[in-house]
A and B are shown apart, each in its own frame.
Chain A
Amino acid sequence: MSVEMFIQHFLNALTLGSLYGLIAIGYTMVYGILRLINFAHGDIFMLGAYFVFWGGALFRLPWFLSVVVAILFTALCGITVDRVAYRPLREAPRISALISSIGVSFFIQNLSIVTFTAIPRAVHVPQWLGQVHLIGKVRLLPLAIVVPIVSLLLTSGLLWVVYRTKPGLAMRAISKDIETTRLMGVPVNRIIAITFGLGSALAAASGIMWALRYPQIHPFMGVIPGFKAFIAAVLGGIGSIQGAVLGGLLLGFIEIMIIAFFPGLSGYRDAFAFVLLIVILLIRPSGLMGEKLEEKV
């Protein structure tokens, strides 16, 4: 393999990996605080992409404005989902909320199939993001740089919120003990709503980035990326924000490099990627950056 080709593969992997990481942050954040795996995350991700599409196609908003509006609307959707599907189950066993999230996921998918139809839509990609640059023999899509930078910014922003602000303090308190936190006078439900709002805003951001890289959106677009990102989050140590980014990058690199070095195995890409992940989890059960598991009684 020539050096140029390797660099090309490297850039492809970097873009894919950062996208996985970006989606994984949303999973890991909700899990870290509520111990809930929000399976509807991938579908909220899809809604984010659709909102941007409509902002441009239906309301003729400038691109930047439609991105902002889409993120706000998606956050609102996330808060609604929490209010309707998760909050009534706060006292129920954890498995009930998990099943509820799977239900929400199917509900959003099928509602979208009926209302948006299954016909894939093309997303407008701004010129400065879609133009390919040629450096030597390597083709660089601006997104290959923009996506990792956005991931980095959002990760640090999120870390700042969680570790440096009052709502963040409350979030961390809730993750330790929800009952005691409530007794301390923290408006638990409001803080959890904020958590879902943030998580969904992140889903929207990653949905938009994904739609810019793969400019075709349809109601099922969130299923596979959501699933992969969930695995990335577990790999990095679910609950750890840095871990999610690392897990996403690792998964992206494994997927691309398997095909790069063993083209004959391209049909088994997912199989090999996941075998490798199982091996990593066997060695480090709590993920790469996960905390040591504490037994909660």
Chain B
Amino acid sequence: MKKLAVLMSLMVILGLAGSALAEEPIRIGVYLPLTGQNAFGGQLERDGILMAHEERPEVLGRKVEVIVVDNKSDKVEAANAVVRLIEKEKVHAILGTYGSSLAMAGGEVSEKAGIPVLGTSCTNPLVTQGKKYYFRACYIDPLQGSAAAKFAMDLLGTKKAAILKDVAQDYSVGLAAYFKRAFEAAGGEVVADLNYQSGDQDFTAQLTTVIAKEPGVLFIPSYFAEGAIIIKQARELGGTFHIMGADAMDNPDMITIGGKDIEGFVYTTFPYAPDMPNMSEMARPSRKTGRSSSPIRIPTPTRPSATTPTCSSSTPSNGPAAPIPRPSPRPWARR
């Protein structure tokens, strides 16, 4: 009798669950640095995700629910955020995160729980290496690093590079190493490889040293908080070399902060020019929301690869191109 009661109630519960399953929304967790040192990047990505959600709130006839949590730009908090999404919010899948170091911390947790995660802009290869459930929607740094090195060699026409990287960030250290490897393999020379730490504001000592080595290009795989200031200080100290960055400096505020000194700055990033061939409808400037998915408006460059060097394989190499002229030296930069 008792057994039967248990069985009956179990069937009722299962029946309820079954009928609920049809209308139950798909819960997607998002963990991003909304506060702390990387908040500017996390806040932008959150806006992008919410915008996509606004445009396509349903998948396969089921509502999508987005739960955004803050990982506070902290590795421990990133792991906590994933635990919270899985255990408390019971999400089906996770999106995130900006910052490779944070993604690595979060990935350990989701891997154990077997919840799939789609990385947004965590480009360090270690994020997905050896992981069954971590995927990504972006390229990886070996590609980005070698593309940057190729660009520096072929289009900027230099064989002498200097690197200034953030030793506290896996993204920066990894990308610098891939750039260096590719640049040296192609016959270039890295004349200076210097470091700083996240949060530093004074780079004058490193830059004075770099300037004395007279490189043709300075590669800074920085986050944008430091990047704009590095460029500004480099120009103030009289550096006339090219400066190259990467996707973490893809931010409209670079120009607000660096002003005229940003002139001539080149970076590798995710391809998103609205007039690109094979651009998905989703990535085009949104009509419904009136916002644009691309955070920055770049005037179409004469050479399309100037903003997105060989990031997509569909871009054919446009033969032996003439080197881009160096930025005109500032009046006070004459030697």
Is there an interface contact between B259 and A117, defined as CB atoms closer than 8 Å?
Answer: no
Is there an interface contact between B209 and A218, defined as CB atoms closer than 8 Å?
Answer: no
Cβ-defined partner of A266 (8 Å) among B39, B206, B332: B206
**How long is the Cα–Cα vector from A132 to B235 in the complex, in angstroms?**
10
Chain B residues with CB under 8 Å of A15's CB are 204
Is there an interface contact between A223 and B238, defined as CB atoms closer than 8 Å?
Answer: no
Main SS at interface, chain B: helix
- With known contacts A16-B202, A118-B35, A267-B195, A139–B236 Cβ distance under 8 A: yes
Chain B residues with CB under 8 Å of A9's CB are 204-205, 208
- With known contacts A134-B332, A263-B194, A5–B212 Cβ distance under 8 A: yes
Whole-angstrom distance from the CB of B36 to the nearest CB of chain A? Answer: 7
- With known contacts A120-B225, A139-B236, A255-B205, A216–B257 Cβ distance under 8 A: yes
Nearest to A134 among chain B residues (CB) is: B332
A contacts with B, residue count (CB < 8 A)? 43
Chain B residues with CB under 8 Å of A110's CB are 35
Chain A residues with CB under 8 Å of B232's CB are 215
Is there an interface contact between B208 and A120, defined as CB atoms closer than 8 Å?
Answer: no
Question: 1/0 per residue A125-143: CB within 8 Å of B?
Answer: 0000000111001010100
Chain A residues with CB under 8 Å of B312's CB are none
Nearest to B236 among chain A residues (CB) is: A132
| In the A-B complex, the 9 residue pairs with the closest CB atoms | A118-B39, A267-B195, A259-B205, A12-B204, A267-B167, A214-B201, A122-B257, A256-B205, A266-B195
Is there an interface contact between B167 and A120, defined as CB atoms closer than 8 Å?
Answer: no
Whole-angstrom distance from the CB of B56 to the nearest CB of chain A? Answer: 27
Is there an interface contact between B208 and A260, defined as CB atoms closer than 8 Å?
Answer: yes
Cβ-defined partner of A119 (8 Å) among B199, B209, B253: B253
B272 within 8 A of A: no
A272 within 8 A of B: no
- With known contacts A8-B237, A266-B196, A113–B39 Cβ distance under 8 A: yes
B200 within 8 A of A: yes
A224 within 8 A of B: yes
**How long is the Cα–Cα vector from A134 to B335 in the complex, in angstroms?**
10
Cβ-defined partner of B200 (8 Å) among A121, A139, A141, A224: A224
Main SS at interface, chain A: helix
Most buried by B among A120, A134, A141, A257: A120
Known: A120-B224, A266-B205. 16 other contacts (CB 8 A): A8-B237, A9-B204, A12-B204, A16-B202, A113-B35, A120-B228, A132-B238, A133-B332, A216-B228, A220-B37, A256-B202, A256-B205, A257-B205, A259-B206, A260-B208, A260-B209
**How long is the Cα–Cα vector from A5 to B228 in the complex, in angstroms?**
24
B197 within 8 A of A: yes
Chain A residues with CB under 8 Å of B224's CB are 120
B286 within 8 A of A: no
Give the A-B contact count at a CB cut-off of 8 A: 110
Chain B residues with CB under 8 Å of A257's CB are 205
Is there an interface contact between A118 and B43, defined as CB atoms closer than 8 Å?
Answer: yes
Question: 1/0 per residue B246-282: CB within 8 Å of A?
Answer: 0000000100110100000000000000000000000
Chain B residues with CB under 8 Å of A255's CB are 202, 205
**How long is the Cα–Cα vector from A187 to B253 in the complex, in angstroms?**
49
A87 within 8 A of B: no
**How long is the Cα–Cα vector from A216 to B40 in the complex, in angstroms?**
13
Is there an interface contact between B205 and A220, defined as CB atoms closer than 8 Å?
Answer: no
**How long is the Cα–Cα vector from A214 to B253 in the complex, in angstroms?**
15
7 contacts between A and B (CB under 8 A): A5-B208, A119-B40, A139-B238, A141-B236, A259-B209, A260-B205, A267-B197
Question: 1/0 per residue A216-236: CB within 8 Å of B?
Answer: 101011011100000000000
B229 within 8 A of A: yes
Nearest to B226 among chain A residues (CB) is: A216
Cβ-defined partner of A269 (8 Å) among B43, B197, B238, B332: B197
Most buried by B among A117, A216, A223: A216
Question: 1/0 per residue A68-105: CB within 8 Å of B?
Answer: 00000000000000000000000000000000000000
Whole-angstrom distance from the CB of B39 to the nearest CB of chain A? Answer: 3
Cβ-defined partner of A259 (8 Å) among B194, B256, B335: B194
Nearest to A259 among chain B residues (CB) is: B205
A291 within 8 A of B: no
A177 within 8 A of B: no
B192 within 8 A of A: yes
List residues of A (249-272) whose CB comes within 8 Å of B's CBs: 255-260, 263, 266-267, 269-270
**How long is the Cα–Cα vector from A137 to B192 in the complex, in angstroms?**
21
- With known contacts A216-B228, A266-B195, A224–B204 Cβ distance under 8 A: no
**How long is the Cα–Cα vector from A58 to B200 in the complex, in angstroms?**
28
Is there an interface contact between B202 and A12, defined as CB atoms closer than 8 Å?
Answer: yes
List residues of B (159-193) whose CB comes within 8 Å of A's CBs: 167, 192
**How long is the Cα–Cα vector from A137 to B229 in the complex, in angstroms?**
22
**How long is the Cα–Cα vector from A91 to B228 in the complex, in angstroms?**
47
Nearest to A221 among chain B residues (CB) is: B201
Nearest to A2 among chain B residues (CB) is: B212
**How long is the Cα–Cα vector from A224 to B200 in the complex, in angstroms?**
8
